[in-house]
Amino acid sequence: MQLYFSPLSCSASVRICLYEAGVPAVFTQVDPRTKRTLDGADYRQVHALGTVPALRTDDGEVLTENAAILQYVADTFPQAKLAPEGTRERVRLRQWLSFVGTELHKALFTPLLDKAAPEAAKAYVLEKGASRLAFLEAHLTGREFLLEHFSVADAYLATVLNWSAATPVKLDAYPAVHAYHARLLKRPSVAKALSEERRLYVAEQERYARGA
């Protein structure tokens, strides 16, 4: 299994889940600016959009879209219990994966993190995002995870909430979300994945600063 990733991006959630499952994988870093892997290969030959994550399965198929990849990992390694069983519970999992992917990742954090996004657009998504964070706050109040147990949706949410540090989103205005995030950051798979990716991110920024 080969994960194409960029440090601290949404692909970190797949790394977290691979660590949860304890399965070996090849991690291939993609430069988000050049769309090349660190050894110079054209990543668009893997995924035409150039976005991460992409996952090459052991039989050579390339999967894209984070929510789909996360569910593939959960289903391929059921012993890791990264997804609930049962139709209704699975719907709830998909509901949260969709919420994190659309309402938080793409609608809120992507524009806030985009240096090219106009300030008015950032102000707009920040205001709109407040209701999404309040909705999440209500759900997480009194709960440890999004569902009954840790799932791939928590790995995705922990990764996305991590970006708040680089944006004007103030997580401490949402005490249950803030506490949930702090708890998840201590989970071994999350701590390991994010500390490794933080090092790679710093190295990437240093490369950019050198113009390399």
Query: Does residue 71 touch ligand GSH according to CB under 6 A?
Result: no
In the structure encoding, which two tokens stand for residue 25, read together?
């994988």
Q: Which two tokens stand for residue 161?
A: 């909430």
Q: Does 101 bind ligand GSH (CB under 6 A)?
A: yes
Is residue 9 at the binding interface for ligand GSH, with CB under 6 A as the rule?
yes
Q: Does 164 bind ligand GSH (CB under 6 A)?
A: no
Binding string, 108-147, against ligand GSH, x = CB under 6 A?
----------------------------------------
Q: Rule CB under 6 A: is residue 29 a binding residue for ligand GSH?
A: no
- The CA distance from 74 to 68, in Å, is 10
Binding piece for ligand GSH, criterion CB under 6 A, among 46-54, 134-142, 150-158, 193-201: 46-54
Asked if 84 is part of the footprint of ligand GSH (rule: CB under 6 A), the reply reads: no
Residue 52 interacts with ligand GSH (CB under 6 A): yes or no:
yes
The nearest distance, CB 141 to ligand GSH, in angstroms, is 27
Kindly state whether residue 51 participates in binding ligand GSH, applying the rule CB under 6 A: yes
Which residues bind to ligand GSH, rule: CB under 6 A? 9-10, 32, 50-52, 65-66, 101
